[in-house]
Amino acid sequence: MSLNLFPRLSENLCSLLEYAEDYDVIIRVGSVSNNNSINSGSKNTSNRYIRQLEFQAHSLILRARSEYFRTALSSKWARKEGETFIFEKPNISPTVFEVILRYIYSGRIGLEKLGEGDIVKLLVAADELILEELIYPLQDYLLQNKQKWIQDNILYVLNTVIERNACSRLRSHCLSIVCPEPQKYFDSKEFMSLDETTLVSLLSRDDLCMDEGKIWDYLINWGLRNTYGIKNKDISKWSIEEFCSLEKTLQRCIPLIRFWQLSLEDFNSKVRPYAEILPRNLKLKLLRHFSSTKSSNNNINSNCGSASLNINTGLVTPGTSPNEVSPILSSSDLILSLHNITKKGASYTNNNLTMSPPISPSAPFSSPARTIDSTIITHQQAALIACWIDRKIVTDFTPLTANPYIFRLLFRGSRDGFSAKTFHDKCDGRGATIVVVRVSGTKELIGGYNPIGWSSPRDVEWRGTRDSFIFSLMNAHSDSSNNISTPKSKISRIKKDCVNEAIQLQDKLGPSFGFYELKIIDDAHEGSSSYASGGLKYEHSIRDKFNYFQVDDYEVFQVLKK
């Protein structure tokens, strides 16, 4: 039999802290700071440490309870005044350190009297002082009890924990909120106060669901706000020093912009005015890319007048006079001109300001698109489908942000026409594909995954696979009572004894799965002749009842591993 006397032990040790008898450590915490951020759960209030306090402690207890103090109190690191160890911790507030010190002595920690902001600071202090047993419970407490506060102060929390790997749960939670709807948070004034590291982390994300042109706009605004010495709002009147200053501020961020996702119009209106801040080798790649880019309706010449190559900036300029810049070049002339630009060098100095060396521009051209090119499904819905492809178990708590696949649009009915022939022309022989369909009237979202590809035989054929499935996705704009929540989305896999009849193929049919499970007919937008049933070849129906329907629109995506 054992007796549990820990509460009494805790009280006795705390009494040592209260009376500080025979202490041999002085810890000075807090300092005067003018940083403005969030304090104790109140938004937009000062985070100023208005005083420095001294705490008295015992080295024996600190060594026993904290790996940090065990190292810090070693003879190699410690500073002593007489027989007393002296520590300075200006980055920890007195309020937070008092809680930490009481925990070290008593093993207890009371969170009820602390504001949310102080709990976040407590989490950071626990990480810094290597109190690992505190880190996970503190994150759990915040995630379970302070969800609304976290959402209201999301950028502050993210900025605080972004570099702390021990706080990965809280960091992942913040990213899962910001990335699907970044504009909501980028429009806040807190965005301008983000640390560079936080911004770099966000720009690195494949699941940052925002048009690349808007991302560039926000980046430039952040750069202007965080660059000292730029006074003129008219960029045409900037000095070379001002361009150099902005380039230095954004040098870690620019390589993370996925320029290839920009339209020619956005590139010329948004990026081109800031050409001086781009590394020269990146400018050359952009030149190659946008010189060959065609607008959605016509080629560069018809859309932009005389798109030309500017040898000085290495950029495509619409509607410029041949007297001002070189005319459009042939491929051989282009290569020669690129060589000449490169020979000019990639850096220069002016009044002791040095442009940084060129940054590798591979990322802007090799990274996948951040958003799916779809008028039917969202990035989160695409991530859900990716989970199904990988046979992952999806719950309410599964973060639907990261997608290990690229969904490359092959076909869109409203753009390409709804004929079966057009579908086969664009989709046959492309390997694994996802089909998503929006039903006319109800706006239901249904579809299927074909892992083996499409073909167009004259007579009906069935092809076998164990990995195909059909599905329905909840649409926030659906006429049904269902919402977009994951548990109400449905997946139906091919039955084990029907794998040889998973995919139906014929030149006169659109994408078809099983027998009647999901079939899109020729010219499916003109009448209610497409249909979906259940329980024949696939496990169950993806619609509440079997009936014919008219297609409002449908898209087919090639599935590629990133």
89 domain-assigned: yes
Region at 342 (left for phi over 0; alpha for psi -120 to 50; beta for the rest): alpha
124 and 20, same structural domain?
Answer: yes
pLDDT at 333: 38
Q: Which residues have C-beta within 8 Å of that of residue 544, sequence separation ≥ 6?
A: none
312 pLDDT higher than 80? no
Residue 46 lies in a domain: yes
Mean pLDDT of 161-190: 93
Q: Is residue 151 part of a domain?
A: no
Q: Which residue has the tokens 């054929």?
A: 461
The DSSP H or E segment spanning 47 is: none
Pairing of strands 490-493, 25-29: unpaired
Task: Name the least confident of 352-361, 373-382, 472-481.
Answer: 352-361
Q: Are residues 243 and 116 in the same domain?
A: no
**CA 168 to the chain's CA centroid:** 15
* Residues 323 and 293 both lie in one domain: yes
**Range of weakest confidence among 2-11, 235-244, 452-461:** 2-11
In the numeric block, the tokens 């195909």 are attached to 468
- Contact in structure between 448 and 516 (CB atoms under 8 Å): no
Burial class (CB in 10 A: 0-12, 13-18, 19+), 40: middle
Q: Which of 86-90, 222-226, 486-490 has the lowest mean pLDDT?
A: 486-490
Q: Do residue 360 and residue 384 come from a single domain?
A: no
φ/ψ of 311, rounded to 5, equals -65, -30
Pair type for strands 84-89 and 308-310:
unpaired
Give kind and range of the element (H or E) at residue 177.
helix 168-178
390 pLDDT tier (thresholds 50, 70, 90)? very high
pLDDT tier at 506, thresholds 50, 70, 90: very high
According to the model, what pLDDT value does residue 352 have? Answer: 35
- Both 108 and 254 in one domain: the answer is no
Q: Are strands 79-81 and 315-317 parallel, antiparallel or unpaired?
A: unpaired
Structure tokens at 105: 């002595």
Q: Do 114 and 236 belong to one domain? A: no
> How high is the pLDDT of residue 399?
61
Phi and psi dihedrals of 163, rounded to 5?
A: -100, 5
3 state SS of 29: strand
Final residue of a domain: which of 317, 332, 366? Answer: 366
33 found inside a domain: yes
Please name which of 186, 43, 175 lies closest in space to residue 115, comparing C-alpha atoms. 43
Is residue 388 domain-shared with residue 296, that is, in the same domain? no
Q: Where are the beta strands (DSSP E) in 142-281?
A: none
Of 39 and 59, the structure prediction assigns the larger pLDDT to: 59
455 within domain boundaries: yes
Stronger pLDDT, 342 or 59, i.e. the higher one? 59
Q: Are 120 and 142 in contact (CB under 8 A)?
A: yes
Pick from 261, 513, 208, 174: nearest CA to 383:
208
Q: What average pLDDT does range 209-224 have in this prediction?
A: 93
More confident residue, 374 or 78: 374
Closest residue by Cα to residue 300 from 264, 251, 250, 354? 264
Give the residue-averaged pLDDT of 437-451: 94
**What is the percent of the chain where pLDDT is above 70?**
76
Nearest to 104 by CA among 146, 56, 50: 56
Distance between CA atoms of 542 and 355, rounded to whole angstroms? 58
Backbone angles phi, psi at 316, to 5 degrees: -85, 125
Identify the H or E element spanning 150.
Answer: helix 147-152
Last residue of a domain, one of 305, 332, 366: 366
Mean pLDDT on 529-546:
82
Distance set, CA 482 to CA 195, 477, 488 (Å): 40, 10, 7
The secondary element (H helix, E strand) that includes residue 283 is helix 280-291
Q: Is the pLDDT of residue 147 over 80?
A: yes
What average pLDDT does this structure show over 93-97? 92
| d(C-alpha 558, C-alpha 562), whole Å | 12
389 neighbors 496 (Cβ within 8 angstroms): no
Alpha carbons 276 and 52: distance in angstroms, whole number: 46
Tell me what the mean pLDDT of segment 513-542 comes to.
87
Does residue 156 sit within a domain? no
Structural domain contains residue 531:
yes
Q: Are 256 and 360 part of one and the same domain?
A: yes
pTM, two decimals, is: 0.66
Q: What CATH number is given to the structural domain containing 136?
A: 3.30.710.10
pLDDT value at 242 more than 80: yes
Domain boundary, last residue among 96, 112, 145: 145
Q: Tell me how many degrees the CA angle 215-218-224 measures, rounded to the nearest 5.
A: 140
State whether 362 and 386 are in the same domain.
no
Residues 127 and 243 in one domain: no
Residue 158: inside a domain? no
Mean pLDDT computed over every residue of the chain: 80
Distance CA 283, CA 256 (A): 14
Q: How many domains is the chain built from?
A: 3
Claim to verify: residue 506 and residue 401 sit in the same structural domain = yes
* HEC profile of 400-467: CCCCCEEEEEEEEHHHHCCCHHHHHHHHECCCCEEEEEEECCCCCEEEEEECCCECCCCCCEEECCCC
Q: Name the residue among 537, 555, 546 with its Cα closest to residue 462.
A: 537
CA distance 126 to 494: 50
Residue 255 sits in which domain range? 211-366
Asked if 341 and 383 sit in the same domain, the reply is no
Chain centroid to Cα 457, Å, comes to 42
Query: Angle of helix 168-178 relative to helix 132-145, nearest 10 degrees?
Result: 30
Instruction: Indicate the SS3 state at residue 76.
Output: coil
